């Protein structure tokens, strides 16, 4: 690479500032947790009100369900169904009582306790953007919008940006580097916008962040983690930093990201639900979690020393999917930070934090499969010594969010089996060989069952109604969501479609749980963030079992009675129509139709904040340009070639390092090809990565190209 011999115009990384990050033990109890000055007052009373109310509701529901099932005395099957019902009802009751607390907090203007008066920070903060095979145009557009907003506020000197790439796709890797150089040039960001690509993405995202902490963390009192689709306003970033600077006991502050950018019907439903119901739910958990909050992996500010001292994750013993590196690391990191004596807060009242959502039901299921495995891993973290009981509750909640799916399925199937037994199996009316004076009828109390069902549905719907009520209290938000009639129409559409989708998600998650328990690893896949259109054959393959189960349940219910078939209709319809539901909700046309009708609107969609609108414009402008292949880009762009070469790892040491077979095969293919440039496309991704990672092999490939 003769014309690339010169060093790049500016370093891609700052001087290293190492910081130790020891691996934490789950078996040894650290020193006792100190009292936290930032903790809200009367936390014991708050938790008693929320959890105590949920216990009272659960006890009442259990009593009523017992009366439904045990009209003539309990049976083993009735006791089993009752136990499953109590677990599921407790889950719903706690969510409901927490939402009620959240509604009071929203109306009272809560969720802003730590926020300070306006002003600039006193320290430097690192904004970390981990990337794994993501669209470089999307990432750079979001970062450029954030940087421009910081410039508007006069705060760029207090924030450095790090793009931490774990990308394994060779074409995306070089495109990423080219997009980084273009971003640095457009923003005059040399010396404050940096890029690093890991040769081995050990421990996935958690390892990516840990690598930055151990190499550069000593230079930054705090850092903020972004996701590939994250955008945050300058005011929000500054307020987060000032809040942490003003409260020395705070180790992590989590914002409430608002979902934006949805175009498909599925994404717009999530966007509406997150914007309308989300604040009530977030305010509720913030109200009673206090300084023992949770962490969702991004759009959160973290004190570097707290993270380095306490969040070094151990490898779990055993084989995948339960052993190995911790996948859902964010919950665990929050628990360990709190165990180490640092406060973990959520500020749901701080606006200006945005993200996107999966565009389709299948994309959600792919992400859920990974999260399901990671959350089930938390079973090995629960016994860890020294965790706060609220932190253990977070871990249990993460596990329960997926375990409840097979429990609901089991509850449903047991109910069907009872109905079939009563319909087709002749009962033994006198089980004691004629000694009983009256027959033992296998019946339930249908009237009481109806009231239990109505009460359960009421608890499920109440958080949504509270979210609608909270929006109606604020004129700007109400208008942004389409006004009173727009809100009511959106609530009806979202509730109906979400109700049909719910049994589909239930069965999918149940299948995932079983697969994980059988030892099947989910792997690590990049998330789709744009169009939700998926080939029909893939949808059929994904949801054929759902359709079959829906038809079987419909036949079973109809064989018992028409009334049971009508009772089961929402579940049966959702499963039987899984394929058309997945297709319809993944289409932009359906989402656009709702928008034209004034449904599923959000304030950020009707009047986008400047930083969000800028990110969208930049993404549209940069994504319209189709990049050349990686080898051509390196051949025709000398600065890119120089930057790429400067960041490559040291060459292989003969006799010490193992032979790189993809490099050997890829180099041989290029050397023996009559046209190396044309042969480049025939290389496998692993061979391309190997050639691109080796200076000598890459130089030979470029020199051989015309």
> pTM to 2 decimals?
0.92
User: Region 670-689: what's the mean pLDDT?
Assistant: 83
pLDDT at 530: 62
**Are residues 90 and 54 in contact, defined by beta-carbon separation less than 8 angstroms?**
yes
H or E element in which residue 185 lies: helix 170-187
User: Region 45-61: what's the mean pLDDT?
Assistant: 97
pLDDT of residue 531 exceeding 70, the answer is no
User: Region 237-264: what's the mean pLDDT?
Assistant: 95
Q: pLDDT band at residue 425, thresholds of 50, 70 and 90?
A: low
Alpha-carbon gap, residue 514 to 405, rounded angstroms: 11
User: Region 296-310: what's the mean pLDDT?
Assistant: 96
Residues 6+ apart with CB under 8 A from 553: 412, 416, 568, 571, 572, 575
The mean of the pLDDT values for the chain is 89
pLDDT of residue 195 exceeding 70, the answer is yes
pLDDT at 3: 44
H or E element in which residue 644 lies: helix 638-647
User: Region 268-280: what's the mean pLDDT?
Assistant: 96
pLDDT at 5: 42
pLDDT at 43: 94
pLDDT of residue 528 exceeding 70, the answer is no
pLDDT at 614: 97
Q: pLDDT band at residue 443, thresholds of 50, 70 and 90?
A: low
Q: pLDDT band at residue 447, thresholds of 50, 70 and 90?
A: confident
Sheet holding 231-232, edge to edge: 231-232, 353-355, 258-259
pLDDT at 626: 79
Q: Name which of 113, 1, 13 is nearest 647 in CA terms.
A: 13
Residues 6+ apart with CB under 8 A from 293: 252, 254, 285, 286, 334, 344, 345, 346
pLDDT of residue 509 exceeding 80, the answer is yes
User: Region 339-346: what's the mean pLDDT?
Assistant: 95
Q: pLDDT band at residue 2, thresholds of 50, 70 and 90?
A: very low
- Higher pLDDT pick, 172 / 450: 172
Helix locations, 33-135, DSSP H: 43-69, 76-107
pLDDT of residue 11 exceeding 80, the answer is yes
* Domain residue ranges of the chain, discontinuous segments joined by +: 655-706
pLDDT at 417: 77
Torsion of Cα atoms, 264 then 265 then 270 then 272, to 10°: 110
- Higher pLDDT pick, 71 / 163: 163
pLDDT at 445: 67
Q: Name which of 382, 310, 317 is nearest 344 in CA terms.
A: 310
Q: How many CB atoms lie within 10 A of CB 632?
A: 15
Peptide bond into 321 cis (omega under 30): yes
Residue 412 buriedness (CB in 10 A; 0-12 / 13-18 / 19+): middle
pLDDT at 600: 96
Widest CA span in the chain: 102
pLDDT of residue 498 exceeding 90, the answer is yes
% of the chain with per-residue pLDDT over 70: 92
pLDDT at 179: 95
User: Region 387-405: what's the mean pLDDT?
Assistant: 94
Least confident piece of the model among 235-244, 527-536, 552-561: 527-536
% of the chain with per-residue pLDDT over 90: 68
pLDDT digits (tens, 9 = 90+) for 111-166: 788 988 789 999 999 999 999 999 999 999 999 999 999 999 999 999 999 999 99
Query: How big, in percent rounded to 5, are the helix, strand and coil portions of the chain?
Result: 60, 5, 35
pLDDT at 442: 42
Sheet holding 125-131, edge to edge: 193-197, 159-165, 125-131, 222-225, 300-303, 250-255, 343-347
Q: pLDDT band at residue 244, thresholds of 50, 70 and 90?
A: very high
pLDDT of residue 435 exceeding 90, the answer is no
Least confident piece of the model among 353-357, 492-496, 562-566, 653-657: 562-566
- DSSP secondary structure letters along 500-557: HHHHHHHHHHHHHHHHHHTT------PPP-S-----HHHHHHHHHHHHHHHHHHHHHH
- Helix (H/G/I), strand (E/B), else coil: 346: strand
Least confident piece of the model among 116-125, 168-177, 617-626: 617-626
Q: pLDDT band at residue 4, thresholds of 50, 70 and 90?
A: very low
């Amino acid at each position: 690479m003769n014309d690339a011999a010169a060093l790049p115009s500016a370093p891609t990384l700052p001087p290293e500032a190492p910081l130790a990050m020891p691996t934490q033990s789950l078996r040894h109890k650290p020193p006792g947790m100190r009292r936290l000055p930032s903790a809200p007052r009367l936390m014991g009373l708050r938790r008693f009100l929320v959890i105590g109310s949920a216990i009272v509701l659960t006890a009442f529901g259990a009593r009523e369900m017992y009366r439904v099932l045990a009209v003539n005395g309990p049976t083993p099957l009735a006791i089993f169904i009752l136990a499953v019902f109590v677990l599921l009802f407790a889950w719903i009751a706690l969510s409901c009582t927490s939402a009620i607390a959240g509604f009071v907090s929203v109306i009272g203007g809560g969720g802003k306790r730590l926020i300070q008066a306006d002003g600039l920070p006193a320290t430097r903060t690192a904004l970390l953007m981990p990337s794994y095979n993501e669209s470089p145009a999307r990432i750079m557009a979001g970062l450029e919008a954030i940087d421009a907003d910081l410039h508007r506020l006069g705060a760029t000197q207090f924030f450095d940006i790090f793009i931490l790439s774990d990308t394994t796709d060779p074409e995306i890797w070089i495109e990423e580097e080219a997009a980084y150089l273009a971003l640095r040039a457009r923003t005059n960001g040399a010396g404050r916008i940096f890029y690093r690509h890991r040769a081995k993405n050990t421990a996935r995202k958690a390892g990516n962040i840990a690598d930055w902490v151990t190499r550069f963390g000593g230079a930054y009192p705090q850092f903020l983690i972004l996701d590939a689709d994250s955008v945050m306003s300058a005011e929000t970033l500054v307020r987060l930093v000032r809040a942490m600077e003003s409260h020395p006991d705070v180790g992590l502050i989590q914002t409430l990201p608002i979902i934006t950018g949805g175009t498909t019907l599925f994404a717009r439903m999530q966007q509406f639900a997150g914007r309308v119901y989300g604040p009530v739910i977030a305010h509720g958990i913030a109200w009673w979690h206090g300084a023992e909050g949770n962490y969702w992996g991004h759009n959160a500010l973290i004190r570097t020393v707290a993270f380095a001292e306490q969040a070094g994750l151990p490898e779990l013993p055993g084989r995948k999917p339960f052993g190995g590196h911790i996948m859902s690391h964010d919950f665990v990191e929050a628990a360990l930070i709190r165990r180490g004596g640092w406060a973990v807060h959520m500020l749901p009242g701080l606006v200006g934090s945005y993200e996107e959502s999966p565009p389709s039901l299948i994309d959600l299921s792919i992400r859920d499969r990974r999260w399901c495995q990671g959350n089930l891993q938390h079973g090995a973290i629960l016994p860890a010594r020294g965790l706060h009981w609220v932190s253990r509750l977070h871990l249990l909640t993460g596990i329960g969010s997926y375990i409840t799916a097979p429990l609901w399925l089991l509850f449903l199937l047991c109910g069907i089996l009872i109905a079939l037994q009563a319909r087709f199996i002749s009962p033994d009316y006198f089980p004691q060989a004629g000694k009983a004076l009256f027959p033992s009828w296998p019946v339930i109390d249908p009237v009481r069952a109806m009231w239990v069902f109505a009460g359960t549905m009421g608890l499920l719907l109440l958080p949504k109604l509270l979210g609608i009520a909270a929006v109606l209290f604020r004129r700007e938000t109400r208008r942004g969501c389409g006004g009173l009639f727009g809100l009511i129409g959106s609530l009806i559409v979202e509730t109906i479609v979400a109700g049909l989708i719910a049994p589909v998600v239930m069965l999918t998650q149940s299948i995932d749980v079983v697969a994980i328990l059988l030892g099947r690893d989910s792997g690590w896949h990049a998330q789709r963030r744009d169009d939700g259109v998926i080939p029909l054959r893939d949808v059929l393959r994904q949801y054929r079992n759902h359709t079959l189960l829906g038809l079987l349940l419909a036949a079973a219910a109809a064989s018992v009675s028409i009334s049971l078939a009508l009772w089961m209709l929402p579940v049966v319809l959702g499963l039987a129509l899984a394929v058309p539901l997945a297709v319809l909700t993944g289409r932009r046309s359906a989402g656009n139709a709702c928008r034209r009708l004034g449904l599923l609107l959000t304030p950020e969609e009707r009047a986008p904040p400047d930083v969000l609108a800028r990110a969208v414009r930049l993404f549209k402008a940069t994504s319209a340009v189709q990049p050349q292949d990686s080898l051509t880009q390196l051949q025709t762009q000398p600065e890119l070639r120089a930057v790429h070469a400067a960041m490559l790892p040291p060459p292989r040491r003969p006799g010490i390092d193992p032979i790189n077979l993809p490099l050997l095969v890829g180099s041989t293919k290029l050397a023996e090809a009559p046209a190396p440039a044309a042969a480049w496309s025939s290389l496998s991704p692993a061979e391309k990565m190997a050639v691109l990672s080796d200076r000598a092999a890459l130089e030979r490939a470029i020199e051989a190209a015309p």
